[in-house]
Amino acid sequence: MTMTDPLQVIDANGSANGYDPGLSEEELLHCYRTMLRVRAFDAICLKLQRAGRIGFSIPNRGIEATQVGAASAIEKTDWLFPSYRDFGMALYHGITPLEMMHNMFGNALDTAKGRQMPVHFSFLEPIKFYSISSPIGTHIPQAVGAAFAMKKRGEKTVALVSFGDGGTSSLGFHSGMNFAGVWKAPVVFLCQNNQWAISCPSEEQTASESYAAKAVAYGMPGVVVDGNDLLAVRKAVLEAVERARSGGGPTLVEAKTFRMGGHSTADDPTKYIPKEVLDEWEGKDPIPRFEKFLAASGLWTAETGEAMYKEAEEEASAAGREAEQVDKPGLETIFSDVYAEVPEHVRKQGQFTFDLARRKGEAAAGDGEFPL
């Protein structure tokens, strides 16, 4: 196998060819259900955005196996430094669609209190899901720093950082890889190569034979995996996690996949991706592929699959309706989320802000008194 041959586990007939992923039947079904929940959440968010009820979303259709396979390889005590196309990582580890919807609407229950774009989730429980950042690649050196701190403290935890193929052209990618290699930091770099950085194809992004090949220059292993094969992604990431946890240092995993939708709801992929390419990847959809594996294992039928998707769709739809009814963040959170004790000069600014809001009628400022 060369650096460009992707690791595969599930073949065209759904057979894992003797590979044991180390997952129970319940855990395998959890992987499947999570992919369905990603797709349903995605579809509901697109409808909400097109209806003008939320401002923005990031399609995940086609990337589900990469997200869920990688998430299944880490523990809840580990740290996730996700990209904005990682709905499945949050859902796999117990974040609910409702919690995610609060961020989509930017309401008072949003962990960012409406001060992040939609899809920029951040959670501390039940998993450490680091705040998503819009600037490409900035979270990569942050993940390395966190991993190095884990190592210095003698912890057996790992940081998994996820980014797209376009992220490999960022300064953060190269500086992060360099420091991780030098420090042997317990971090796993997951490049979700969906082949398009918005409208820039991979062949215009890099001259390397693969993104995984870039690992060699930084003194770490690089592996290419079929990103539409959930078990292959799990196998590659699990091996990388075990290596990091045992003190062996970082690994770069390139998951070759394809986003079967726009870069965001503001993008139309049909303007730059040929129809025959979209049709080809439609036939490589990771969900039917995993269904074949489950069916071969006696765990899936078309009827159960339809029922599970309907359940996921109803869950996402109900989450959207509930989150939409939650009030906007209180005006005082601009100040209370920053200071434990508000200093006098900020208190004066707060009073001015509340008085202005009362006069303009643009916020629920009560009688105009600054409450902090």
Q: What is the CATH number of the domain that holds 132?
A: 3.40.50.970
Residues 157 and 295 in one domain: yes
The residues near 70 (Cβ < 8 Å, ≥ 6 apart) are 89, 160, 162, 190, 233, 234, 237, 253, 255
Q: Is residue 3 part of a domain?
A: no
Domain that holds residue 354: 330-372
321 is known as an active-site residue: no
If you average pLDDT over every residue of the chain, what do you get?
Answer: 94
Number of domains in the chain: 2
Residues 246 and 337 in one domain: no
pLDDT of residue 358 exceeding 90, the answer is: no
Pick the catalytic residue from 37, 259, 289, 309: 259
pLDDT of residue 1 exceeding 50, the answer is: no
Q: Is residue 154 part of a domain?
A: yes
Question: Percentage of the chain with pLDDT > 90?
Answer: 87
SS3 203: helix
Q: Is residue 5 part of a domain?
A: no
Instruction: Place 228 in a pLDDT band, splitting at 50, 70 and 90.
Output: very high
Question: Percentage of the chain with pLDDT > 70?
Answer: 98
Average pLDDT over residues 232-250: 98
pLDDT in tens, 278-336: 999 999 999 999 999 999 999 999 999 999 999 999 999 999 999 999 999 988 888 88
Pick the catalytic residue from 272, 321, 339, 359: 272
Which two three-digit tokens encode residue 342?
A: 């508000």
pLDDT of residue 365 exceeding 70, the answer is: no
- In angstroms and rounded to an integer, the radius of gyration of the C-alpha atoms of the chain is 22
Instruction: Place 364 in a pLDDT band, splitting at 50, 70 and 90.
Output: low
Residues 291 and 350 in one domain: no
Residues 320 and 334 in one domain: no
Cα–Cα distance for residue pair 129/3, rounded to 1 Å? 30
Average pLDDT over residues 242-253: 98
259 is known as an active-site residue: yes
Pick the catalytic residue from 39, 85, 263, 289: 263
Residues 205 and 183 in one domain: yes
Average pLDDT over residues 34-38: 98
pLDDT of residue 74 exceeding 70, the answer is: yes
120 is known as an active-site residue: no
Q: What are phi and psi of 233, to 5 degrees?
A: -65, -45
pLDDT of residue 362 exceeding 70, the answer is: no
Q: Is residue 1 part of a domain?
A: no
